[in-house]
Homo-oligomer: A and B are copies of this chain.
Amino acid sequence: MSASSLKTSAGNFFEDFRLGQQIRHATPRTVTVGDVAVYNGLFGPRFAVQSADAFARSIGYPRAPVDDLLVFHVVFGKTVPDVSLNAVANLGYADCRFLKAVYPGDTLNAVSEVIGLKENSNKKTGIVYVRSRGFDQDGGLVLDYARWVMVRKRDEKAEPPGDKVPELPKAVEPSQLGAACPAIDAKAYDTVLSGSPHRFGDYKAGEKIDHLVGVTVEDAEHMIATRLYQNTARIHFDHFTESKGRFGKRLIYGGHAISLARALSFNGLGNAFHVAAINGGRHVSPLFAGLTVFAWSEVLAVADVPGRNDVGALRLRTIATKDRPCADFPLKGGDDYDAAVILDLDYWVLMPK
C-alpha cells in the first residue's frame, strides 16, 4: 500500500461500522443567501415564507428561513463521506424531524450514531442504520433523522460488525411537529400573496392532487445541486466511470427528486409552507438527466398540532414520476410500483389555520 492511500479516504465499508459508534462529520457549512439563490434557480420553489423576508416577517418569522429541504440536503451531504460512500442503495428514511428554523448565516454541522447493522445473506453487503443530527453554530439541534443504506463489505470474509435492526416509528406524531416553526399570525398570512386560497381547514384525508406540471432535469443542474450540499457520492458526478457501470450513466441524487416534487407540489399545496417531518421515503427507481419529473400527492391525514392554534398539519404522500404525467395518479403496476414512479415520500407539512 502506498503512502498516498493512507491519506485519502475511500469511505467506510460495512465491517468498519460499530453499533453505538458516534461519527462527527466534516465539513461545517455556512448557509447563505447565495445558497438559497442557487437552490431557487435549480428548483424554483414558490412558498412565500421562504421566498420573501417581508412575507416571513408579516407572520412572525424574524426573516425568511432557509428552505427545509436545503437544510436536509446540507446535513445529509455531510454524512455521505462517512456513511454512504460505498452504498449500493439508499434504502430509506424515518423519523425525520425539523427542529429549529435555519436562517442565512447559520453554520450547520452533523453527527451520526450507528443504531443498527444487519449483514445480508449474500455476505457481500450489509445494512447500516444511522441516526443523523444536524446542529447550528450554537449547538441547536435543527434536524434529526434515521436513515438506512446498503453498504458493500470490503472483505466478504469479514465478520459482521453487529446484528441489530432498530425499531423506528412508522410516522412522526403530531405532537412532535412545529418546533422549527415560530408561532405565526395566521390572520396576517396573506393567501393572495402566497398564491393559494386554501388553508389547513380546506384539506381532507383522501384528497388527491395532481401537481400538473413537469420539469426536465439536466446533468449540470443535479451536479450543481449535489455539490452545493457537498455531497460527494461519485455516482452523481463521474460519467467516465458510470458509463461503464450499472446504469451506463450518472445517477441523480435521490434528494434531487424530493426537492423537485416539493417545488411542483406548490400547485395545489401553496400554503404548505413548512416541511415539519418526513415519516418515510423510498427512491423507487433511478432518475437520470433528460427525464421529466411530474408529481401528485395524497392527503393521508389532517391533524391538529397539540398546543398550536396557528397551524395545522397535513400528512402527505407525494409520488414523483419520470416522463409520466400524473393526472391519473400513477402508483402501482402489478404487484409493484408503476415503472414510472421514482419517489414515494410520506411527510408532514404545516399550513396556516
Interface residues in chain A, defined as those with a beta carbon under 8 Å from any beta carbon in chain B? 2-5, 7-10, 24, 26-30, 32-38, 40-44, 46-48, 51-55, 64, 81, 105, 107, 109, 137, 192-196, 198, 202, 204, 207-216, 218-221, 223-228, 230, 232, 234, 237-241, 250, 267-270, 290-292, 296, 323, 325
> What are 17 inter-chain pairs, A to B, with CB distance below 8 A?
A3-B204, A3-B208, A7-B196, A7-B209, A8-B210, A26-B196, A28-B48, A28-B52, A30-B54, A32-B34, A34-B35, A40-B227, A41-B227, A44-B227, A52-B107, A81-B195, A216-B238
**Contacting residue for A241 out of B54, B214, B234, B238, CB 8 A:** B214
CA distance A228 to B30 in the complex (A): 21
Residue pair B38, A38 in contact (C-beta under 8 Å)? yes
Contact A32-B37, Cβ < 8 Å, known A54-B107, A292-B239:
yes
Chain B nearest CB from A342 CB (Å) reads 13
CA distance A214 to B236 in the complex (A): 10
Chain B residue with Cβ nearest A209: B4
**Contacting residue for A207 out of B4, B52, B211, B268, CB 8 A:** B4
Which B residues are CB-close (under 8 A) to A292?
Answer: 238-241
Residue pair B227, A195 in contact (C-beta under 8 Å)? no
Residue pair B215, A238 in contact (C-beta under 8 Å)? yes
**Contacting residue for A32 out of B33, B216, B218, B268, CB 8 A:** B33
Residue pair B46, A4 in contact (C-beta under 8 Å)? no
Chain B nearest CB from A296 CB (Å) reads 8
Which B residues are CB-close (under 8 A) to A35?
Answer: 34, 37, 40
CA distance A232 to B228 in the complex (A): 24
Chain B nearest CB from A241 CB (Å) reads 6
Residue pair B234, A214 in contact (C-beta under 8 Å)? yes
Which B residues are CB-close (under 8 A) to A223?
Answer: 215-216, 218, 221
Which B residues are CB-close (under 8 A) to A10?
Answer: 212
Which B residues are CB-close (under 8 A) to A202?
Answer: 7
CA distance A226 to B225 in the complex (A): 16
Chain B residue with Cβ nearest A8: B268
Residue pair B7, A198 in contact (C-beta under 8 Å)? yes
